[in-house]
Amino acid sequence: MMLATIESALDDIHSGLRMRRVWIALAQEDIGDQHRRTALGPLWLLINYFAFAGTFIFVIHRGDTSTGSYAAYVATGLLVWFYIMETLSQSVSLFVREEGFIKGTTLPLSVYVMRLLMQSAIRAAYALVGCIVILLLSGTALSTAWLWSALGVLLILATTPAAIILFAFLGAYFPDSQFIVSNIMRIGMFLTPVFWSYEGSGGVRHLLYYWNPFTYFLEIVRVPILTGGPPIDSLLLCGAIGLVLWTAALMVLGLFRKRVVFVI
């Protein structure tokens, strides 16, 4: 039974990957439509990133941290967090937004999953440009250690479809979860070390740092750039989280992919 369920999910994913031209084109169209009537177009994504990063760097900057290192800390943290926050928030309402396509076509569900992944990746690419600019302006040295950060980015991208699948089904079967997840992600920005750092203090900050899974997804991108060393422990933990998410996602997709049309 379990093997049949996983095979059903893998068939859906395989069919979706074969239709990559469809979800790439749809994602590009989404980004274009969102900025169609604006003068700067998708460049607003870059401007928004600079606005947030500048606010944290110059307003929340603490005097006991060098400006350059704090700028790099915030730039990398915001890059990863914005990607995670947007992807999860959009995932919960994914199948509801795609109701017309799901009920009117026979496209595999993974097409919609990959469409959202590509859309989020395109948005993150603009933020990545801004992040690199801030890193260079802050005096952060370009080194081969950045390849570890690139590996971290690839790991996050590889984990994303599994997270989208789980949250999309959650939103389809429990509509209230859309508001719950949205509020949690807003609050989560302040409970995750995006712009604050853990410096050995105890109490609540200690718990928020070590028991927050988002911490480690930030670290696999941030630590190599800031310290020049590989975050092996964080990479292993994020890899383990990714495996768990993919196992759960395959089970959920295999079990419910043909039933979701009746609940949205």
- Assign 5 a pLDDT band (cuts: 50, 70, 90): confident
Compute φ and ψ for 24, nearest 5 degrees: -70, -45
- Assign 62 a pLDDT band (cuts: 50, 70, 90): low
**Per the structure block, which two tokens stand in for 159?**
């984990």
- Residue 169, pLDDT > 80, answer yes
pLDDT of the residue at 201: 65
- Residue 37, pLDDT > 70, answer yes
In three state form, how does the secondary structure of 97-129 look? HCHHHHHHCCCCHHHHHHHHHHHHHHHHHHHHH
Q: What DSSP element (H or E) covers 27?
A: helix 20-34
Nearby residues of 158 by Cβ (< 8 Å), 6 or more positions away? 242
The SS3 call for residue 216 is helix
Residue with tokens 């076509």: 105
Over residues 121-149, the pLDDT tens digits come to: 999 999 999 999 999 988 888 889 899 99
Tally Cβ neighbours within 10 Å of residue 97.
15
Residue with tokens 């994020």: 238
**In terms of C-beta density within 10 A (0-12 exposed, 13-18 middle, 19 or more buried), how is residue 64 classed?**
exposed
- Residue 200, pLDDT > 70, answer no
Residue with tokens 């590009």: 28
What is the rounded distance in angstroms from the CA atom of residue 220 to the CA atom of residue 147?
11
Nearby residues of 196 by Cβ (< 8 Å), 6 or more positions away? 205
Q: What are the Cα distances from residue 57, in Å, to 49, 50, 127, 149, 195?
A: 12, 10, 16, 21, 8
Q: What is the pTM assigned to this prediction?
A: 0.91
pLDDT of the residue at 231: 93
What is the rounded distance in angstroms from the CA atom of residue 106 to the CA atom of residue 256?
15
Count, residues in the chain: 264
What is the rounded distance in angstroms from the CA atom of residue 44 to the CA atom of residue 41?
6
- Residue 189, pLDDT > 70, answer yes
